[in-house]
Chains A and B, each alone.
Chain A
Amino acid sequence: MKPVRNVAIVGSGPAGLTAAIYTARANLAPLVLEGEPSSTTDQPGGQLMLTTDVENYPGFVEGIQGPDLMGAMRAQAARFGAELVVERVSRVDFSSRPFGLWVGDPTTDEPTHRAKAVIISTGAQSIMLGLEAEARFLGRGLSTCATCDGFFHQGSAIAVVGGGDSAMEEALFLSKFADTVTVIHRRDELRASKIMQERAFKNEKIAFRWNAVVQDLVGDDALEGALLKDVHTGETSVLEVTGMFVAIGHRPNTDLFKGLLDMDEGGYLLTLDGSTATNVAGVFAAGDVADHTYRQAITAAGTGCMAAIDAERWLEAQGDAPADIAETPTEW
């Protein structure tokens, strides 16, 4: 059986990798279970892997590409000795210590990994529309990854569903390829930040369909249009589009922890005020998985740092921390 780790970190977005940098520098030799490849945000590196320009992460005057930022964080964690593995956790056992984490078959008796402390940073993934037709059109006009698929919509009419920053970012990015980008939003105003709203309003290729929801997707082999319903009048109409990108919000990746950790009605993990501690001693939560308010790369990184410090102090209190760090607890 593999040796018990001091800290296992589940997830590898800004929260998980910052926790990895800090716990690695504290000589805790963390194991990071990065997740598996995916075309959704639930993948190694997390949500920023599907974005382009990150303009609000401090320290990058001209902005940085999302995947470049995550690549740098990963390399930084590896440099200090974090072990990063492309594995997806399928089950956890927090009922006894050391905690158990399974990869692959969740029904085996023995867990794949064991750890004295666990930091959960599994993040959130985008919500789709929940329409039956989605499975049929995925990869045939409907896409979960604008940066991957914008290229295929050169000269086309496409739609972006949503009214937040992610939706505006996708609309602006896609306007480089498509002839028209119609933003479909269920309200009559956007939730997006002022700067993103202004950019979208100024862009001549971007049009807005207010107070509308997508009821169905239509087309034979590939997407040909979206059936829209006006939320006030109930009137329906078809918007002809050959591409559709959905950015209507996120849900936390917490299915693994149902019944094991306290969460709110939205499924976000609950942490003790002012800390990252969950209701299970030795299990900490950081980043979007426990945050439905801020959801920024920098807040995720911030709480990842908090979780690392909380985990280290907790291990120390258990008498489990390596001797050399117990003597220099201020070297952060």
Chain B
Amino acid sequence: MPAVTLSDTTFDEEIASSSQAVLVDFWAEWCGPCKKIAPVLDEIAAEHADTLRVAKLNVDDHPDIGRRYQVMSIPTLLLFKDGEMVKRLVGAKGKAQLLDELSEFL
């Protein structure tokens, strides 16, 4: 499943209604490391489609949700399960390291 694009207005409902864990990628156009991990996240989403959804939230267009979760650095990845935030990953990382950090939820 391709990554879902979230906005300030759709975020809460998407997170609450998802039966799978949702990994939200807080990113922006000007952020080089964000662009580098985008394809890595797509790969992870494709390989773990049964347990995980990847969602993108552009902090430039939609700053409110980032503020709510005190996102002050991008990329930040927040993992939500049953509507609750269960994991926070700050900074770009390689695929192996991301999978390792997410392993208990996959």
Contacts and interface: CB of A to CB of B under 8 A. Distances in A.
Bound pair: A and B? Answer: yes
Interface of A: 36-40, 43-45, 49-50, 67, 86, 88, 104, 138-141, 143-145, 147-149, 151-153, 221-222, 243
Interface in B79-101: 88, 90-97
B60 A151 contact: yes
B44 interface: no
Given A38-B93, A88-B94, A144-B91, A50 B32 contact: yes
B60 A38 contact: no
Given A37-B33, A39-B33, A67-B32, A149 B91 contact: no
Given A152-B73, A222-B70, A138 B91 contact: yes
B96 A104 contact: yes
A153 B72 CA distance: 8
A152 B71 contact: yes
A36 B30 CA distance: 19
B38 to A, nearest CB: 9
A37 B31 contact: no
B94 A143 contact: no
Nearest to B73: A139
Interface string B67-80: 00011111110000
Interface of B: 28, 30-34, 36-37, 40, 59-60, 66, 70-76, 88, 90-97
**Residue from B36, B71, B76, B88 having most chain A Cβ neighbours under 10 A:** B36
Contacts of B40: 37
Contact of A38 (B33, B73, B88): B33
Given A38-B33, A38-B92, A43-B33, A143 B70 contact: no
B93 A36 contact: yes
A-B complex: 5 closest residue pairs judged by Cβ atoms? A36-B94, A139-B90, A39-B91, A37-B36, A37-B92
A222 B73 CA distance: 12
Q: Is the interface of A mostly helix, strand, loop or mixed?
A: loop
Contact of A37 (B37, B70, B72, B88): B37
Nearest to A51: B32
B33 A148 contact: yes
A138 B73 CA distance: 8
Contact of A148 (B32, B88, B94): B32
Contacts of A222: 70, 72
25 contacts: A36-B94, A37-B40, A37-B92, A38-B33, A38-B92, A40-B91, A88-B94, A104-B96, A139-B90, A141-B72, A145-B31, A145-B33, A147-B30, A147-B31, A148-B28, A148-B30, A148-B34, A148-B73, A148-B74, A149-B72, A151-B28, A151-B60, A152-B66, A153-B72, A222-B72
B72 A152 contact: yes
Contacts of B72: 139-141, 143, 149, 152-153, 222, 243
A151 B96 contact: no
B73 A44 contact: no
Contacts of A153: 72
Given A39-B75, A140-B72, A151 B32 contact: no
Contacts of B88: 139
B91 A139 contact: yes
Contacts of B37: 37
B70 A39 contact: no
A147 B32 CA distance: 8
A39 B31 CA distance: 10
